[in-house]
Structure 1
Amino acid sequence: MNEQIPVKNVTPVKVHKPASTTEGKRYDSRSRIYVRAVKGPLETFRRFFGLFFLAIFAAIPWIRFNGQQAVLLDIVEQRFSIFGLTLWPQDLTLLAYIFIVGAFALFFVTTFAGRVWCGFMCPQTTWVYIYTWFEEKIEGPRNKRIKLDSRKMDADKFIRKTLKHTAWVAVALLTALTFVGYFTPIGALFIDFFTFNTGFWAAFSVVFFAVCTYANAGYMREIMCTHICPYARFQSAMFDKDTFTVSYDAKRGEQRGPRPRKLSHEQVHEKGLGDCIDCNLCVQVCPTGIDIRNGLQYECINCGACVDACNGVMDKMDYPKGLISFTSEEELAGGKTHIVRPKLIGYLIVLIVMTGLLVADIVTRVPLEIDIIRDRNSLYRETNEGLIENVYTVKVLNKSQQTQTYTISVQGLPEYTFIGNREVTVQGGEVYSTPISVATDPYNLEDVVTDIQFTVTTTTDSGENVTVNEPTKFLYR
Structure 2
Amino acid sequence: MAAPRTALPAAAGADSGTPMKDPDLIEVAQEAAPAEVAELDLYQKREKIYTRKVEGFYQRLRLFTGWPLLLGYYLLPWLNVDGRQAVWFDLPEREFHIFGLVFWPQDFPLLAFLLIISAFSLFAVTVSAGRVWCGYTCPQTVWTSIFMWIEQKTEGSRNQRIKLDKAPWSAEKVGRKSAKHAGWFFVAFMTGMTFVGYFYPIRELAVELASLATGKWQALWTLFFTLATYVNAGWMREQVCTFMCPYARFQSVMFDRDTLIVSYDPARGEPRGSRKRDADRRELGLGDCIDCDLCVQVCPTGIDIRDGLQYECIGCALCIDACDSVMDKMGYPQGLIRYTSENELAGGTTHWLRPRVLGYIAMLMLMIGVFSYNVATRIPLEMTVIRDRNQLFVETADGAVENIYKLHLVNMDGNPHAFTLSIDGIEDAELLGAVRYSLDGGETRTISLRVRARREALATPSTEMTFTAVAEDMPSLRAVAESRFMRPL
Q: TM-score, normalised by structure 1?
A: 0.89
Equivalent pairs counted in the alignment come to 451
Q: Distance in 1 between matches of 2:232 and 2:378?
A: 40
Per-residue CA deviations over 1:302-348 (Å, capped at 9, x if unaligned) read: 00000000111111111111111111111111111111111111111
1:216-235 correspondence runs (5 A) = 216-235=232-251
Alignment correspondent of 2:187: 171
- 3-state DSSP of counterpart to 2:65: helix
Alignment correspondent of 2:417: 404
Alignment correspondent of 1:149: 165
% identical equivalent positions? 47
Per-residue CA deviations over 1:163-193 (Å, capped at 9, x if unaligned) read: 2111111111110111111122222222223
Does 1:368 find its partner at 2:355? no
Residue of 35, 55, 61 corresponding to 2:51: 35
Alignment correspondent of 2:25: none
1:74-473 correspondence runs (5 A) = 74-263=90-279, 267-382=280-395, 388-442=401-455, 444-458=457-471, 465-473=476-484
Q: CA deviation at 1:203?
A: 2.1
Q: Distance in 2 between matches of 1:427 and 1:325?
A: 59
Amino acid at match of 1:151: A
Cα 1:149/1:385, change in 2 over 3 Å: farther
Q: Distance in 2 between matches of 1:442 and 1:132?
A: 80
Cα 1:29/1:360, change in 2 over 3 Å: farther
Q: CA deviation at 1:277?
A: 0.7
Amino acid at match of 2:360: Y
Any stretches of 5+ residues in structure 2 without a counterpart?
Answer: 1-32, 39-43
Q: TM-score, normalised by structure 2?
A: 0.87
Q: Does the CA-based 8 Å contact 2:258-2:343 persist in structure 1?
A: yes
Q: Distance in 2 between matches of 1:87 and 1:465?
A: 18
Cα 1:48/1:147, change in 2 over 3 Å: farther
- 3-state DSSP of counterpart to 2:92: coil
Flag the structure with larger Rg. 2
Q: Distance in 2 between matches of 1:48 and 1:443?
A: 73
Q: Does the CA-based 8 Å contact 1:394-1:435 persist in structure 2?
A: yes
Decide which moves more: 254-263 or 217-226.
254-263
Decide which moves more: 312-321 or 444-453.
444-453
Q: Distance in 2 between matches of 1:331 and 1:46?
A: 25
Amino acid at match of 2:190: L
Q: Distance in 1 between matches of 2:209 and 2:486?
A: 55
Alignment correspondent of 2:81: 65
More relative contact order in 1 or in 2 (CA 8 Å, sep 6+)?
1
Decide which moves more: 465-474 or 232-241.
465-474
Decide which moves more: 405-414 or 372-381.
372-381
Per-residue CA deviations over 1:46-99 (Å, capped at 9, x if unaligned) read: 144211110011111122112212212223333222223222222233112211
Q: CA deviation at 1:433?
A: 2.3
Q: Does the CA-based 8 Å contact 1:396-1:431 persist in structure 2?
A: yes
Amino acid at match of 1:349: A
Q: Distance in 2 between matches of 1:347 and 1:215?
A: 36
Q: Does the CA-based 8 Å contact 1:246-1:304 persist in structure 2?
A: yes
Q: Distance in 1 between matches of 2:213 and 2:452?
A: 52
- 3-state DSSP of counterpart to 1:457: strand
Q: Distance in 2 between matches of 1:299 and 1:200?
A: 39
Q: CA deviation at 1:151?
A: 2.1
Q: Does the CA-based 8 Å contact 2:423-2:430 persist in structure 1?
A: no
Q: Does the CA-based 8 Å contact 2:418-2:473 persist in structure 1?
A: no
Q: Does the CA-based 8 Å contact 1:314-1:320 persist in structure 2?
A: yes
Alignment correspondent of 1:8: none
Q: Distance in 1 between matches of 2:64 and 2:149?
A: 13
- 3-state DSSP of counterpart to 1:53: helix
Alignment correspondent of 1:20: none
Aligned-pair RMSD on alpha carbons?
A: 2.2
Any stretches of 5+ residues in structure 1 without a counterpart?
Answer: 1-11, 18-27
